[in-house]
A and B are shown apart, each in its own frame.
Chain A
Amino acid sequence: MTYPTTWRRPPQIFTHRGWRIGLQLAALAYLVFALGTLDVNWTRIAEGGERGLRFIWGFLSPDFSSRWRDISQGLIESLTMTLTSTVVGVAISIPIGIGAARNVAPAWIYAICRSIIAISRALQEIIVAIFFVAMFGFGPFAGFLTLSFATIGFISKLLAEDIEDIDEAQAEAIRATGASWGQLINYAIQPQVMPRLIGLSLYRLDINFRESAVIGIVGAGGIGATLNTAIDRYEYDSAGAILLIIIALVMVAEYSSSYLRKFLQ
């Protein structure tokens, strides 16, 4: 038995040397080409540099007071939109999630629910928001619908996967008592998935707040609209204030939701 006396790198994904070098060259060529297509207007950037400094300055000395009416209005819209859309979205997600779980739903219901989930996940929030604004007019109602729609895809998918992963022994025990389908869901599945469903809902609340800050840009209400106006008017101190509020709220939401999830589990 002979051991090698010098250490050699273990083989990587591509064992053949030619492939590896070829791939690296291709990546390099792409990089050069892609950077080449990027036409950078240096004079415009030089002009913007001063604006960038003003923005950083605005961020460091935020102005909460002069646009407070707009900011508070946007904030209330965002927060109410976040809560209502999460509640409605989760309420709609529960039947769809149960329907999309293979072990409790018949095949045709499974197919319908899975396609609803696929549609909801494939469409970007912003694009959905554009359509809802065109249909329902400007304002938080369109935003509420957008966020509810996005929530359905997220919660239903994870809930369905959770139901498919349950401990079958408990379901079998309930079935053995001669329980109906409704009783099976209520006594065998609901206790197993409830803690996770609450955790997911809190997580989605957090995501919906972040998204509600964005969809205002296309007119669906919320703090995003205020931010968009502030940047359009070059009022960087107000924009800085809004961004700080968003960051602070997201941090609060993240920490409190992770705390609550620990408390509930």
Chain B
Amino acid sequence: MSDFPASWQFRSPRTRLALWFGWLCLVALFVWCWQVMNENTIWMFVQDAPRQAADIGGRMWPPRWSYLGELMVPLWDTLNMATLGTLLGVILAVPVAFMAARNTSPFPLLLRPAALFVIVASRSINSLIWALLLVAILGPGLLAGIIAIGLRSIGFIGKLLYEAIEETDIRQVEAITATGASQAQILHYAIVPQILPAFWGITVFRWDINIRESAILGLVGAGGLGLKLQSSLNTLAWPQVTMILLVILATVILSEWVSAKVRGALI
């Protein structure tokens, strides 16, 4: 009568087989990729790495504190680059977000896919690549960095903002529509107040990320702390590298704290 199994099994034999096969495929793929990737690796360098690390570590210590004074202007440039870049990103991203959101897109058939493409394209290209291109076009300097940060921010702000717009409460829109409001008035009184907290939260969050990114954009010539990092690396001035890294770390921690505080106050 009772044909219960003698012992409890977590999964059915079939699923277990499929799972094992899946894991086997993953391991095989990993081994193959490892082989292809390491075709040209010189293992002598890898064995040597602990010694190299100790060597670099020895050269990096102590940090050159007197260099701190020289870093103040690049630090200010880095902060400006992040802030102005975020501003540019916001200005460009807001219309894109309204075009991408299903409920506010003025011409959904054509504009929505176009806006979504802008968002994906902006997100898939790192700000360092944007900077690389813009330095080649505009010449080295802060302007290239600002535009790179701005273009990269469109995707992030646009994506989060359009999701926030799609999540707005429809009843408020209906209430405003019932008063006979025009399209612009609906936007202004029904949608904007609902997404404003999300908007400020997203902006501050992106500003925090942009501080991190702008600190290294100088590596490809876009000004700020990265430029100093590049020149110190090129001249093998390791104590200066340590100093720059400390300044970057301090800035990043500070900006994270500021952004957490502001977001805490908003939400």
- The interface of chain A, by Cβ under 8 A from chain B, is 13, 30-31, 34-35, 37-41, 44-45, 47-49, 51-52, 55, 76-77, 79-81, 83-84, 87, 122, 124, 126-127, 130-131, 134-137, 139-141, 144, 187, 210-211, 213-214, 217-218, 224, 227-228, 231, 234, 239, 243, 246-247, 250-251, 254
Contacts and interface: CB of A to CB of B under 8 A. Distances in A.
A251 B125 CA distance: 11
9 contacts: A44-B139, A47-B139, A48-B136, A79-B33, A84-B34, A126-B128, A126-B216, A137-B45, A254-B120
Contacts of B121: 247
Contact of B139 (A38, A41, A139, A224): A41
Contact of B37 (A52, A80, A127, A210): A80
A80 B80 contact: no
B115 interface: no
A210 B128 CA distance: 11
A247 B124 contact: yes
A213 B126 contact: yes
Interface in B8-46: 10, 26, 29-30, 33-34, 36-38, 40-42, 45-46
Contacts, number: 134
A45 B139 contact: yes
A124 B265 CA distance: 28
Nearest to B46: A136
A38 B129 contact: no
Contacts of B138: 44-45, 48, 52
B137 A48 contact: yes
Interface stretch (B49-57, B63-71, B89-97, B166-174): B49-57
B128 A141 contact: no
A135 B143 CA distance: 34
Interface in B122-152: 123-126, 128-129, 132-133, 136-139, 141-143, 146
Given A247-B125, A251-B124, A137 B139 contact: no
Nearest to B131: A217
B252 interface: yes
